[in-house]
Amino acid sequence: MNRTRKSSPCHVYFAIAVACWSIALLPTKRLLSRAPALPSPAQVQLNGAGATFPFPIYSKWFDEYHKLHPDVEINYQSIGSGGGIRQLLSGTVDFGASDGPMTDEQLKQAKVPILHFPTVLGAVVPTYNLPGIHERLNFTPEALAGIYLGTITKWNDPALTGPNPGVQLPGSDIIVVHRSDGSGTTYVWTDYLSKVSNEWRTRVGRNTSVNWPVGLGGKGNEGVSGLVQQTPSSIGYVELVYAIQNHLSYGKVKNAAGNFILASLDSVTAAAAGAARNMPDDFRVSITNAAGQNAYPISSFTWLLVPSKINDPAKRQALIQFLRWMLTDGQKFCQALAYAELPKPVVAKEMKAISRIE
């Protein structure tokens, strides 16, 4: 008896711990038991993961779509394009999303063929900090490639003064800034440089992260623009959406037709329209340096990645319905969030491609 009395505190603690534990569990249990009684239960849940660049418009779409169809709930995690592709290949999500098309090698790893659906358009713009210069600068492809290769090191290099008559460019060193985190923005930027410069293609190449010949790395759009704004005579690149929302000044870029074009939602859509004529059936196409008088050359699609075979009929139906809505009614949300809409011919082609999901 003596022993029991001595150890009773321990006993009591244990009882208290058990009691706390059950109290902690109680609300969950109650919620669970109530769940079926909640109004408009989600019958179909779709899970997706991938690109961060289109995340604002995607979450708007999934939210609006859920309001229209309360029985469909779409969850999206913006973990990055690479992560989205990996999760899709391992089958842990119903769809993926990427800022760059999947490579042939990646497509081969998939158990069922993967379909690409362009959703919106993005663009990347060169932003710079030159104290005392308020004019918008014109950049030729050669100048951008030269600056990022490290062969053009001064602001008053002929490659820069040539296209900018009347602007007094200083003789200071160019401080190059690029993204340090792997990103779709870097993919589009390096894809463009690879198209316009042979040396870039063979020495550096295109990827979400590359071996930069020169420059400082900033993390995210905010890191790059922060560095550029703080460092006199620097140049960097950011997403158009980011530049518009944060009122950054950015330069015009010479397109394939030879015109200096300022990035805007219209000039980006024009780039996609230029590419629509020779759009391949799988939509895996780069639209950087696209043809067209008004096409902004550093533009890109961003894609939803959908398996061509979905076994669960409810999920399949929900995903098909959503894709149709996204391509038609959904596009009108783009403008407000500063994303460029898809051109009509691309939408028409995608509507046909939806029937390939089975």
Partner 1 sequence: MATPPLVIDQLHAAGRGGRVRAFIERLRSGDEIAHLITLVFAASIFLLTVLLVYELYVNCALPRHKFGWGFFFSRTWDPVFENFGALPFIYGTVVTSLVALLIAVPMGVGAAIFLAELAPPHLSDALTFVIELLAAVPSVIFGVLGIFVLVPILRSQVEPFLKATLGFLPFFQGPIYGIGYLAASVVLAIMIVPFVLSISREVLLAVPREEREAALALGATRWEATWKVVVPYARAGIFGSVCLALARALGETMAVTMVIGNEPKISASLFAPGYSMAAVIANEFAEATGDLHVQALIELGLVLFVLTMIINALARLLILLTTKQGTAHP
Q: Which of 54, 80, 292, 297 binds partner 1 (CB under 8 A)?
A: 80
Cβ 138 to partner 1 shortest distance, Å? 27
Under rule CB under 8 A, residue 81 binds partner 1: yes
Under rule CB under 8 A, residue 180 binds partner 1: yes
> Which stretches of 222-288 are assigned E, i.e. beta strand?
234-239, 252-254, 260-261
Under rule CB under 8 A, residue 305 binds partner 1: no
Under rule CB under 8 A, residue 2 binds partner 1: no
Token pair for 109 = 């790893």
> What is the spatial distance between Cα 67 and Cα 307, in angstroms, rounded to a whole number?
25
> What is the spatial distance between Cα 316 and Cα 129, in angstroms, rounded to a whole number?
49
Q: How far is CA 338 from CA 26, 240, 331, in A?
A: 45, 8, 12
Q: Which C-beta is closer to partner 1: that of 77 or that of 321?
A: 77
Stretch that binds partner 1, among 29-37, 110-118, 181-189, 236-244 (CB under 8 A): 181-189
Under rule CB under 8 A, residue 106 binds partner 1: yes
Stretch that binds partner 1, among 57-65, 174-182, 239-247, 278-286 (CB under 8 A): 174-182
Cβ 316 to partner 1 shortest distance, Å? 27
Under rule CB under 8 A, residue 153 binds partner 1: no
Neighbouring CB atoms inside 10 A of 110's CB total 16
**Crossing angle, helix 344-353 and helix 265-276, to 10 degrees?**
60
Q: Which of 69, 116, 206, 254 binds partner 1 (CB under 8 A)?
A: 206
Under rule CB under 8 A, residue 219 binds partner 1: yes
Give residues 240-279 in contact with partner 1 (rule: CB under 8 A). none
Under rule CB under 8 A, residue 110 binds partner 1: no
Token pair for 335 = 């403008």
For every residue of 71-107, DSSP letters joined together read TEEEEEE---HHHHHHHHHTTSSSEEEESSPPPHHHH
- Contact (Cβ atoms closer than 8 angstroms) between residue 64 and residue 90: no
Q: Which of 63, 71, 135, 173 binds partner 1 (CB under 8 A)?
A: 173
Under rule CB under 8 A, residue 88 binds partner 1: no
Q: Which C-beta is closer to partner 1: that of 209 or that of 264?
A: 209
Chain-centroid distance of CA 10 in Å reads: 56
Stretch that binds partner 1, among 63-71, 116-124, 131-139, 216-224 (CB under 8 A): 216-224
Under rule CB under 8 A, residue 77 binds partner 1: no
H/E element, 332: none
Cβ 147 to partner 1 shortest distance, Å? 16
Beta bridge partners of 234: 129, 175
Chain-centroid distance of CA 199 in Å reads: 27
